[in-house]
Amino acid sequence: MKSTQIRNLVEQVREGKLARRDFINRMVAVGLTAPMASMTLMHYGVANAQTTPHVYKPTKRGGGGALKLIYWQAAVHLNPHYAGGTKDQDASRIFYEPLANWDSEGNLVPVLATEIPSRTNGGLLPDNKTVIWKLKRGVKWHDGKDFTADDVVFTAAYAGDPAAAMVTVGTYKDIKVTKVDSHTVRVEYARATPFWAEALVGGVGMILPKHVFEPFMGAKSRDNPANLKPVGTGPYKIVDFKPGDTLRADANAAYHVANQPFFDSLEVKGGGDATSAARAVLQTGEFDLGWNLAVEDEILKRLEAAGKGKMTFYVGSDIEFVSLNVTDPWNEVQGERAHASSKHPAFTDKAVRTAMSLLIDRKGISDSIYGRGGITTANFLNNPPRFRSPNTKHEYSVEKANATLEAAGWKRGADGIRAKGNVKLKFVYQTSVSGPRQKCQAIIKDACSKAGIDLELKSVVASVFFGGDFANPDTYQKFWADMQMFTTTMTQADPQYFMEQFTSTEVSQKANKWASRNLVRWSSKEYDDTFRAAQAEFDPAKRAALFIKMNDLVVNDGHVVPLFARPRPVGTVNKLVTNISPWDLTTAHMASWWRDA
């Protein structure tokens, strides 16, 4: 970005036309770190620029009426520790809270803790593997019982129990959390670790009430009524929840933060599609906020022209990508489709994977469909910028794809489809029901047909695809197809948890109820060793280099094909003032949202 463009944006911040956080997001998108973006504002004398141009802020709890959100992918349960999809994580976060959140600049802010552990306050011990958290006093669970250290200790044990098959088991299985006193806990990692702020923090750190969840430990965890009727410490208390449809809640009159929440009630409406959700916010104003408005950018711009709402794209490290199945999704091994020991009949050949990558026009798809909502990339890990690999590249070439397949012995048959032996290049390519995704599928199918590859396109209703129902064959966790496409979110300002999803221990399979996060079932000893090295590397430059190496190992192997980075597309009515971080869940800071007069 040219210096004149930067100065123009700075002036917009100075004049109150551009929120400070939006300026930072734009700078991050072009390669600056958030702290450097803040320093840029300081350089131009606007260090104290407000995050929004609004001047009114609530001075008391309540009085704001109803807050209405539309999540076109509806939540199906409210247990944060087996929420495999963002929609269920966001819904759970309304009621449950972690010890700390991530703010818009990637800093930790206390929630159920009194302060962030540091060397200065004695929270980070010299052994680099012990963390002391001091907890807020006077916090009540929604049923009136006291929140204490016992709840924190319990949550770690609950989530870390392999028999429970929680999505967050990888975070908790190797740590020890003990009670120091009624409002202090000690977290001990197995070895010295530079990123200690994973357990009990952010989207994977929501604390559960021991007295509600203890009777449903281990294999009984999914039978707990609280999975549908949460008892948390958050700003809203459940009133009614219809899985796959609507969630209603009222303000928590005993919430532990003064003057919050501003709104008296909350409704989260699920179902429908992204375009209808965008229209309900930007054009009609029927809802205050629309989540994940993955809609063609030209449509969004037309809806914004109505003047009732606006889009904000929060730049983090979320990524839309295509997975080429490592395993065989069609034949059972030991009574299981896509068994971890099986091999995909075609994608085992690197030449086929290379051809598939060459047949995806990333830039064309991003420019023509997603616009502001897509940043073309060859990397799986894109932010923070110091972790972004300079070693990868992407290319679109039908000609090269044909040459690659021909050289590898994949010959066209009478039907035009390439084959080798008895294996044909015919694949089922699945994703969720979404206008842009179906257009993306069609573009890729057309290119593949020019190279002798036949794709059968499959679209699964989002509530099923991301539903986490281990009895349903069409979930993305099972991945019983040859190819699939979706966005994975990074809900921390550090890539450790994000990149753990490609480790061997995270392979999704029947034994863990398909709840683990390595859905493509790719594994590499070199990757595992590099990941473990990063967990113990304290030098920032060396640690960044290790994550870059992990990115390169995944991308260059070809089973994971990044399409574009996905700034989170959120639509809001004009008078809604939000506090949303691209490094945490959308609802993480919703207790502080308010409506301007």
Residue-wise pLDDT tens digits, 331-388:
999 999 999 999 999 999 999 999 999 999 999 999 999 999 999 999 999 999 999 9
Instruction: Output the 3-class SS for 256-300.
Output: CCCCCCCCCEEEEEECCCHHHHHHHHHHCCCCCEECCCCCCHHHH
pLDDT confidence tier of residue 3, bands split at 50, 70 and 90: low
Residue 85 pLDDT > 70: yes
- 155-160: long-range contacts, CB 8 A cutoff, minimum separation 24: 155/81, 155/200, 155/206, 155/207, 155/208, 155/210, 156/187, 156/199, 156/200, 158/81, 158/208, 158/213, 158/214, 158/217, 158/221, 159/81
Q: What is the pLDDT of residue 32?
A: 56
Segment 222-243 shows an average pLDDT of: 97
List, in sequence order, every residue forming a beta bridge with 66; answer none if it has no partner. 265
- Give me 396's structure tokens: 């679109």
Q: Yes or no: say if 72 and 270 are a contact pair by the CB < 8 Å rule.
A: yes
Report d(CA 39, CA 27) in Å as an integer. Answer: 11
Segment 505-521 shows an average pLDDT of: 92
Q: Yes or no: say if 548 and 382 are a contact pair by the CB < 8 Å rule.
A: no
CA-to-CA dists, residue 378 to 15, 283, 360, angstroms:
37, 35, 11
What is the model's pTM?
0.83
Residue-wise pLDDT tens digits, 118-137:
999 999 999 999 999 999 99
How many helices, marked H, and strands, marked E, lie in the chain?
17, 25
Segment 425-430 shows an average pLDDT of: 98
Segment 218-233 shows an average pLDDT of: 95
Q: What is the pLDDT of residue 47?
A: 44
| 180, 182, 183, 188: CA torsion to nearest 10 | 30
Q: Yes or no: say if 314 and 581 are a contact pair by the CB < 8 Å rule.
A: yes
Q: Yes or no: say if 399 and 334 are a contact pair by the CB < 8 Å rule.
A: no
pLDDT confidence tier of residue 239, bands split at 50, 70 and 90: very high
Report d(CA 443, CA 396) in Å as an integer. Answer: 12
Residue 90 pLDDT > 60: yes
Q: Yes or no: say if 115 and 134 are a contact pair by the CB < 8 Å rule.
A: yes
For 343, phi then psi, to 5°, come to: -125, 140
C-alpha closest to that of 295 among 369, 368, 239:
369
Residue 410 pLDDT > 70: yes
Q: In which order are the strands placed within the sheet that holds 568-573? A: 236-241, 246-251, 265-270, 66-71, 289-290, 568-573, 309-314
Residue-wise pLDDT tens digits, 544-591:
999 999 999 999 999 999 999 999 999 999 999 999 999 999 999 999
**Cα 298 to the chain's mean position, in Å?**
25
C-alpha closest to that of 478 among 158, 203, 78, 84:
84
User: Who's near 301: CB < 8 A, 6+ residues apart?
Assistant: none
Report d(CA 584, CA 202) in Å as an integer. Answer: 6
Q: What is the pLDDT of residue 29?
A: 63
List, in sequence order, every residue forming a beta bridge with 132; answer none if it has no partner. 186
Residue 113 pLDDT > 90: yes
Residue-wise pLDDT tens digits, 137-167:
999 999 999 999 999 999 999 999 999 989 9
Q: Yes or no: say if 104 and 35 are a contact pair by the CB < 8 Å rule.
A: no
Report d(CA 322, CA 485) in Å as an integer. Answer: 4
CB neighbours of residue 529 within 10 Å: 11
Residue 43 pLDDT > 80: no
Q: Yes or no: say if 570 and 312 are a contact pair by the CB < 8 Å rule.
A: yes
Residue-wise pLDDT tens digits, 288-311:
999 999 999 999 999 999 999 999
Is the bond preceding 261 in cis, omega lying within 30 degrees of 0?
yes
pLDDT confidence tier of residue 469, bands split at 50, 70 and 90: confident
User: Who's near 299: CB < 8 A, 6+ residues apart?
Assistant: 275, 278
Which one is predicted more confidently, 285 or 84? 285
DSSP string, 85-136: SHHHHHHHHTT---SEEE-TTS-EEESSBSS---TTTT-B-TTSSEEEEEBP
Residue 46 pLDDT > 70: no
* Dihedral-angle region of residue 60 (phi above 0 means left; psi in -120 to 50 means alpha; beta otherwise): beta
Q: Yes or no: say if 264 and 251 are a contact pair by the CB < 8 Å rule.
A: yes
